[in-house]
Structures are given as structure tokens and as C-alpha cells.
Amino acid sequence: MSTRAAQSRIVGVLVAGQVLQGLGQGATLAMGAVIANEIAGESLSGAAATASTLGAAVASIPLARLAQRLGRRPALALGALLGAVGSVLTVLATGLQFFPLLLVGFALLGVGTAVGLQARFAATDIAEPERRGRDLSLVVWSTTIGAVAGPNLIGPGVVIQDALGLPPLTGSFVIALVAQIGATLLYLVALRPDPLSLAAGRPVELSPADDGVVRGRGALIFAVSAIAASHAVMVAIMSMTPVHLTTHGATLVIVGFTISLHVAGMFALSPLFGWLSDRWGRLTVILGGQALLAGAVVLIGVGAEDHTAVVVALVLLGLGWSASTVSGSALVSDLVTGEARLRVQGRTDTIMSLAGALGGGLAGPVLALVGYSGLAWIAGVLVVVVAGWAAAVSRGRALQR
């Protein structure tokens, strides 16, 4: 099998796996706050989402180390299997009304998110440099299918839970369980050849220090920081949008429509941003992503009371996140090779998840203190920092794709 044919097969398997992973996550994520509220009350309703985010952060580095030792196939399969265990524990915790076990279940469900993050990097293991952004973005895009379809499976989940005699609100987790087991088997059976095994047989260019970093640590720190900051801005604003809209008279239909458009912005155009980053360069697309995030900040800052402005801002927020994350991740893959690559990728995912958890955790108190517009302006400080940093890196280094 030629390298290009092998890469096409690898990307196809990763895309299929992400559809299953996204389906499982989409089917359950919407129920986390509802179940937590039923068990522990409104004050702890956000704990399930926090546990899921922290689970992804904690799992990222161990999964990367496992991939470095044994390959992508067992690492991705194990992560998906742990997500399946999380579904089982969540059903059990709901039946027992035991909140600590519920948090453990959602932390394991968060490992599925870590699998998705690692899968995007797996698409770059043997990708040609001029196609690296495109291949990575295709894996990111495939999350759209599950993210859109998953929340619509709550109704079928009710039918399943009633048929199986399970506790209320848990039918979606049966769907997630089947999807995660399907992803586990897919990775084990179909992810052949293992992309890291192929990558190990290809010549790589190492830095003089022979540590695998080939293009400069400063640029690498920027790339990771841009991904983390963009994620923090997106999570902080997105997580408080339903609260803001409902307290200002919006119906749940409008809230759902707004978040759906936001999710579409996050994933649907990622192949375009991947192609643009291959063609125009990573820094250019990162700067474009920051411009989109800035547009969202300004719209909310001056038009928070206008529902239409908020909807448009949330679309821009998703697009800005997509451009920055796709191009930033491709830049990380450009800058690191050899054994250091997986270590850096794992740390990137951990930092990204922690930044999201921090952004979401601080958003509530900030919203209470300065309102929705104030939250947007404060988040905009990060956008300005990343944009200025990108401009400085662009001037100081002639980075190539």
C-alpha cells in the first residue's frame, strides 16, 4: 500500500470513529446538567460538564504516552472503551442517585473527548505537509455529524430506557454505550496500518539538539497558547449564552437554535480552514480566526440585548474557534516531529481542555459581576493578546506551511 493510499484509509477510519464518538457525546452531553440537577440540585448542575472536561484533560497525556509506546490503534481504542465504561457508570449512578459516581462516569465520558482530540493529530502522522491541515480538518469536521444528530436522540433514548426498565433520563447513555463500543472495535480492527508505525519508518528532520522540535520553541509555545486561549474564549462566552438569553426573555427554541448554529460554526467549515491553512499558511488563518472571535466580542459587547446580534455573534464565535484550532493544531504538527511529537500533542490537548474548564468556571462569576457584555469584553483581551502575538511571530520568523 502506498503512503497516500494508507493515509486515505487512515483518515477514513478516523472520520468514521469520530462520527461514532460524536454521536455518543452528543447523545449524553445535553443530559448531564439535567441528571446532576435531579440528584444534587441546581447549584451543582454544571458539575457533570466540568467533570467531563477535566476527564479529557487528565486523559490526554496518558493516551499520548500509550500511543507513543504501542501505537495510535490501542490508544484510541482504549479511550473509546473507557468512554463506554463511563456510560455504564452514569446509568448506575442515576439509578442509585449517587452523585460522586455520576462525576466519575462523566469524567470517563470525557476521555471520549480526549480521543477526538488525539484523532485529529493522528490524521497528521504520515500526512504530506501540503495536505496536513486538510486531513486534520476532515477529522474535526466529522464531529459535526454526531454533535448535530446526538441531541436529537433523546426521544429514542426514552423508548430504549422504558423497554429496558432503566432509570429516567438514561436511555441516551445506552446509545452512547453502543456508539463507543462500535468506535472501540473500529479502531482495533480497521486502523491498519497504524499511522505511527508508518511514521516510524519515514525519515525525519531533527533539530541540532536532537529533541524532535524542528522549528523553534517560541513558535510552538505560541501555537499551543493560541489553541488554548481561543478555546477558553469560546467556552466562556458560549456557556453563558443560554443563561443570558433565557433571563432576557428568549424561548428555549431560540436558545437551542442559537447553540445549534454555534456548533455548526465550530465544525462544519473546518475543512475550508484546513485547506486555507495549507494554502495561505498557519499564521494567516490563526489571525483570521482571531478576527472572527473579535467580531463576536464586539457584537456582544455593543448588542447583548439584541437576540439577532447574539445569534450572529455565536456563529462568528464558532467559526473563529474552528479557524484557530484547526490551523493551530496543524502548526503544532508542523513544528514537532520524532518522539517529541506525541508528548507535545498530549500536552497541547491537556492545556486546551484545562483552558476550557477555567474559562467555563470563571464565566459564571464574571457574568454575575459585569454582565454578558462585560464578559465578552474581558474575553476579548485574550483575543487581542493572541492576535498581537501572531503578528509578532509572523514578523520575526518566516514560518512555512
For the ranges 26-40, 54-68, 249-263, 335-349, the one whose mean pLDDT is highest: 54-68
**What is d(CA 18, CA 46) in angstroms, rounded to the nearest whole number?**
25
Q: What is the pLDDT of residues 210-250, one digit of tens each?
A: 334 445 688 899 999 999 999 999 988 987 887 788 788 87
The whole-model pTM stands at 0.79
Q: Which CATH class is domain 1-194?
A: mainly alpha
According to DSSP, residue 43 is labeled: G
Homologous superfamily of the 211-396 domain (CATH):
MFS general substrate transporter like domains (1.20.1250.20)
| 33 vs 282, residue with greater confidence | 282
Per-residue model confidence (pLDDT) at position 205: 41
Task: Residue 189: count other Cβ atoms within 10 Å of its Cβ.
Answer: 11
Per-residue model confidence (pLDDT) at position 105: 93
**What is d(CA 185, CA 199) in angstroms, rounded to the nearest whole number?**
23
Burial class (CB in 10 A: 0-12, 13-18, 19+), 159: exposed
Lowest mean pLDDT among 10-14, 120-124, 152-156: 152-156
In the chain, what are the helix, strand and coil shares in percent, each to the nearest 5?
A: 85, 0, 15
Domain boundaries, the chain: 1-194, 211-396
Triad 40, 45, 149: Cα angle to 5°: 125
Q: What is the pLDDT of residues 306-363, one digit of tens each?
A: 989 999 999 999 999 999 999 999 999 888 877 788 889 899 999 999 998 888 778 8
User: Residue 390 corresponds to which cell in the numbers above?
Assistant: 501572531
**What is d(CA 258, CA 310) in angstroms, rounded to the nearest whole number?**
8
Q: What is the percentage of the chain residues whose pLDDT exceeds 90?
A: 47
Per DSSP, the three-state class of 400 is: coil
Q: Which residue has the cell 474559562?
A: 359
Lowest mean pLDDT among 65-74, 158-167, 194-203: 194-203
| 50 vs 173, residue with greater confidence | 173
Per-residue model confidence (pLDDT) at position 401: 39
Per-residue model confidence (pLDDT) at position 212: 47
Q: What is the percentage of the chain residues whose pLDDT exceeds 70?
A: 89
Q: How far lies 92's CA from each of 4, 27, 100, 102, in Å?
A: 45, 17, 11, 8
Per-residue model confidence (pLDDT) at position 292: 98
- At 336, phi and psi to the nearest 5? -130, 140
Per-residue model confidence (pLDDT) at position 46: 62
Q: Is there a shared CATH topology between the 1-194 domain and the 211-396 domain?
A: yes
Q: How far lies 162's CA from each of 36, 155, 168, 179, 249, in Å?
A: 20, 11, 8, 19, 34
